Amino acid sequence: MDRIRITGGNQLNGIIPISGAKNAALPLMIASLLTSDTLTLENVPHLADVEQLIRILGNHGVDIAVNGRRESQGEGYSRTVHFTCRTIVDTTAPYELVSKMRASFWVIGPLLARDGKARVSLPGGCAIGTRPVDLFIEGLEALGATMEIDSGYINATAPSGGLIGATYTFPKVSVGATHVMLMAASLARGTTVIHNAAREPEVVDLAQCLTAMGAKIEGAGTSTITIEGVTSLSGARHRVLPDRIETGTYAMAVAMTGGDVLLEGTRASLLENALDTLKLAGATITETETGLRVVRNGNGIHPVDVVTEPFPGFPTDLQAQFMALMTRAQGVSHITETIFENRFMHVQELARLGAKISLSGQMARIEGVSRLKGAPVMATDLRASVSLVIAGLVAEGETVVSRVYHLDRGFERLEEKLNRCGAQVERVSD
């Protein structure tokens, strides 16, 4: 199994191209199930999660053709991918596939809306928390679906004339359930109003793509979204928005090591809260015509308290990375995780590098230390793994991060991007 070996101590200087967003690409790909025409997505990142979803969609009858790549970036960078689902050949999403990637559960929305039925495995828990699906069930029931749980599967059935528009208020903000309601309501009869919808940029991206496919959606990006159902959707061409979590991750890496890096092809509006937090921590961030320039020269890292929240708050997907940064702050900071109940697996691993962190319920107290020292570490999820890479960039000596497959789920060419800016990061195969 591959590992990543980091030799710490180098500043980052140069240009890092930001890829298309994993968490936008996944629901956009799933939206291809809604039409018999071709949906073409540009800027699809080359990631293990994307490849896994390609396999899952293939199982439902989606033909996939990959071509094109950005000039001068070589093989493997974000691509243009064509998805065509002439007919849905199978409305079952089996446990073996859904359990590997939670987002594949979201196929339930399009399958139900287009074919009137879906049998989708319950995803089960995962490393960062229990992650139930009650909001999906309630939301689709509000559209008239019958939802039955049977042997670990949800059997969903639409009324004979198809899903029916309705008003539904989410009791809690959920990105995935908002995606599913958007897709399902686009093909429902009548108007659907969703209150307390997720406002994440990835929801807006999906709404824009659905609109290009002929859906009638208003209010995406606010808490109330109105969808007027249409009888069918057509193909479209859509560009996946830049990855705000990748953006924030590299911005934190630069804040950690010091240096001057242009994060190319991204924009500040995707992550204002995280950028403001980084500025308080001592980074200088400016938006340029081509991206975001992140600089930290000379000054130390200041402690800053953060609380994770749904967008536009500080993202849970940057919590681990920010904690890594705070391990080197000049003082004490607190990080409160409010989205997932078990998203602190990186704490014990950061401690192996010399970090001083104590946990009390959902809050971590981080006492900055003047040095970290390299060690072998491992993590059980994507963002936790990359937090260890960030810590490794400044740790003395060698840090070896195992279970690299977590990183490959969400970071396109991580080693290459960091090394081009002066880091010493190497993939080691056993």
- What is the C-alpha separation between 363 and 333, in angstroms, rounded? 10
Least separation in angstroms between CB 109 and ligand EPZ: 12
Binding site annotation covers 15? no
- What is the C-alpha separation between 174 and 369, in angstroms, rounded? 36
Kindly tell me which of 153 and 296 has the beta carbon lying closer to ligand EPZ.
153
Kindly tell me which of 175 and 325 has the beta carbon lying closer to ligand EPZ.
175
Binding site annotation covers 132? yes
- What is the C-alpha separation between 210 and 204, in angstroms, rounded? 10
Least separation in angstroms between CB 383 and ligand EPZ: 5
At 317, list the tokens.
């997907």
Q: List the catalytic residue out of 85, 126, 209, 421.
A: 126
Least separation in angstroms between CB 348 and ligand EPZ: 19
Binding site annotation covers 115? no
Residue type, 23: N
Kindly tell me which of 172 and 237 has the beta carbon lying closer to ligand EPZ.
172
Kindly tell me which of 41 and 375 has the beta carbon lying closer to ligand EPZ.
41
At 226, list the tokens.
């109105």
Which CB contacts under 8 angstroms, 24+ apart, belong to 349-352?
A: 349/377, 349/378, 349/379, 349/384, 349/388, 350/323, 350/324, 350/387, 350/388, 350/391, 352/376, 352/377
Give the sign of the dihedral formed by CA 127, CA 242, CA 425, CA 428: positive
Least separation in angstroms between CB 343 and ligand EPZ: 8
Binding site annotation covers 296? no
Other C-beta atoms lying within 10 Å of the C-beta of residue 72: 6
Binding site annotation covers 133? yes
Least separation in angstroms between CB 398 and ligand EPZ: 26
**128, 199, 140, 133: which is closest to 164 by C-alpha?**
140
Name the residue number minimizing CB distance to ligand EPZ.
176
At 187, list the tokens.
């093909």
Report strand pairing: 291-296 vs 259-264.
Answer: antiparallel
Kindly tell me which of 236 and 407 has the beta carbon lying closer to ligand EPZ.
407
Q: How far is CA 92 from the centre of its chain?
A: 25
Binding site annotation covers 318? no
- What is the C-alpha separation between 301 and 284, in angstroms, rounded? 12
Least separation in angstroms between CB 394 and ligand EPZ: 23
Residue 258 contacts by C-beta under 8 Å, 6 or more apart in sequence?
A: 11, 12, 296, 297, 298
Binding site annotation covers 386? no
Interacting residues with ligand EPZ (CB under 6 A)? 23, 26, 102-103, 129, 131-136, 172, 174-177, 316-317, 339-340, 382-383, 410
Binding site annotation covers 317? yes
376 φ, ψ (degrees, to nearest 5): -75, 135
56 φ, ψ (degrees, to nearest 5): -65, -45
Kindly tell me which of 25 and 187 has the beta carbon lying closer to ligand EPZ.
25
- What is the C-alpha separation between 151 and 148, in angstroms, rounded? 10
**264, 263, 266, 268: which is closest to 250 by C-alpha?**
263
Active-site residue flag, 126: yes
Binding residues for UDP-N-acetyl-alpha-D-glucosamine: 102, 131-135, 172-175, 317, 339
Binding residues for phosphoenolpyruvate: 22-23
Binding residues: 22-23, 102, 131-135, 172-175, 317, 339
Q: Tell me the catalytic residues.
A: 126
